Each structure stands twice: as structure tokens, then as C-alpha cells.
């Protein structure tokens, strides 16, 4: 099962997140007696802007993720269970 994020997913999450932030700010403006206006073109540009921000954050994250994997040797550590005396339970030695 691969849980690694993708570029498309990062763009989509950034764009939708930016639209939700705009909607939240517009709601606050309405609550405090102001107004907010957005047309379709503005919302598309806002989505693209948020998507680009999402991609930038994704690329920074993946850069650190790859460095961490490289530092760890790119493999998982073997889980070692120990008993109360500190001996490895996976060893055959008594």
C-alpha cells in the first residue's frame, strides 16, 4: 500500500484549501457587516494560486523525505523484541 503523496493531490489540496480560506474570510466579512465579491475568473486564479503553493510545499516536503530515506539507508529497521533481561528474543542462543 503506497501512502506517498502525489503532485496532483498536492495541487488539488492547495487549490481547494485556498478557496476554503477565502470562503472563511468572506464569511467573517459578512459577520462583521462587510461584503466580499468574487467572480468565476477570480476563483479560478485563486485555485491556481493555491495549487502552486501546494506544489511548492509538496516539493519541499519530498526533498526532506528523500534525504531522510537516504540517511536511513532506504530500508526499514528490523523490530527487535527483548525480554526483561535485555536479551533478544529472536536469538536462538540460550
Residue-averaged pLDDT of the chain: 81
Beta bridge partners of 88: 82
What's the grid cell of residue 36?
A: 466580499
The CA distance from 71 to 65, in Å, is: 10
Closest Cα to residue 57, out of 5, 16, 22, 20? 5
**What confidence tens digit (pLDDT) does each residue in 23-61 have?**
999 999 999 999 988 899 999 999 999 999 999 999 988
For residue 49, what pLDDT is reported? 95
The CA distance from 33 to 46, in Å, is: 24
For residue 63, what pLDDT is reported? 85
The CA distance from 11 to 89, in Å, is: 47
Amino acid at each position: 500500500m503506497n501512502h506517498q503523496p502525489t503532485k496532483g493531490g498536492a495541487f488539488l489540496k492547495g487549490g481547494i484549501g485556498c478557496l476554503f480560506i477565502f470562503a472563511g474570510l468572506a464569511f467573517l466579512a459578512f459577520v462583521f457587516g462587510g461584503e466580499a465579491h468574487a467572480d468565476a475568473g477570480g476563483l479560478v486564479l485563486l485555485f491556481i494560486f493555491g495549487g502552486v503553493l501546494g506544489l511548492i510545499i509538496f516539493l519541499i516536503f519530498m526533498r526532506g523525505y528523500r534525504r531522510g530515506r537516504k540517511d536511513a539507508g532506504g530500508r526499514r529497521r528490523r523490530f527487535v523484541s527483548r525480554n526483561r533481561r535485555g536479551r533478544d528474543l529472536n536469538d536462538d542462543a540460550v
